[in-house]
Amino acid sequence: MKRLNFWVYALFYKWASTEMVKQAMGYNDCSAEDLAEGVAAHYITPEEFQEITGETYENYKNAVS
């Protein structure tokens, strides 16, 4: 099983808010790809993904496919 990014777990366990994850992305500690993996693993909701990245999960998934 692949390990997920720390920020994915932090969001799931409510250790971090979506705003904190946005800031982490600004420091390159987390990427949209990391978050997409979190959605696929059911740790992040598609709504949280969109709130953080500004893009829907479906659009992101289609763009990288």
Residue 29 has phi, psi (to 5 degrees) of -85, -15
Contacts of 52 (CB under 8 A, 6+ apart): 18, 21, 22, 25, 35
Burial class, 46, CB count within 10 angstroms (exposed 0-12 / middle 13-18 / buried 19+) = middle
Residue ranges of the domains in the chain?
Answer: 6-64
- pLDDT single digits (tens) 13-59: 999 999 999 999 999 999 999 999 999 999 999 999 999 999 999 99
pLDDT at residue 1 is higher than 70: no
User: Which pTM value belongs to this model?
Assistant: 0.93
Give the integer Cα–Cα distance in Å for 8 and 36.
Answer: 9
pLDDT score at 2: 82
